[in-house]
Amino acid sequence: MRAKKVMVIHVKDDLEKEELMKELQKLELPAFIYVHGKLNSLKINIQGTKDEIREAMEKVREIHHRVRSRLYPDRKGFYQYNINDIFREAGVSISMPILTKTLELLGEHADLRGDKLISSLSWGEIVNLVKKLGEILTDISLQTTRQIREVVAPISVTFGVDPQEVLELAVDFGVAEYKEDKFKYELVKNKEQAMEIMLKKLEGRGNED
């Protein structure tokens, strides 16, 4: 037996409304959902069986919580993101060690908890950062190993240096070499040592300017 249910969700501003509507449009549920935007709220009409309606309402509440967590900081000034939401919005997936290390080098808070990322960067900023890292990784992926990418990409973004130049500097600083037989750059130090040496050299070079 099919039934109807109306949910009203209150929103703080137009941005929250837009993000919420965008997420609701992606929902694939057995229940039929119709969303109508009002001034400070969304009116959601749900049609289906009682179980379908219950499932739809739970999903809507979960989405609303995710949207609010990424748009508005908590008392400490941190935002909570679902990692897949970030990657979907940025249109690219990157390794979490690269993202968290970049945030750390930029002086931003980064706390990974399962599929959640707690960060001081706002939603738009973190999406743009992931896009930038994605571009860098695409640029160097064919000529690098995973380990060296985890050093080069964060440094490239943090210091605003072209990733190709970072690769050449890694060789100059003695932390990497170019393997002619593999056509790839590889680390000759472990990742942590390489990062430490690169940072000291680059920060020193910056102080000399």
Report pTM.
0.86
- Residue ranges of the chain with pLDDT lower than 50? 209
Residue 198's CB is within 10 A of a number of other CB atoms, namely 22
Residues 6+ apart with CB under 8 A from 193: 175
Q: Give residue-wise pLDDT tens across range 173-204.
A: 999 999 999 899 999 999 999 999 999 999 87
Would you state the pLDDT for residue 39?
Answer: 82
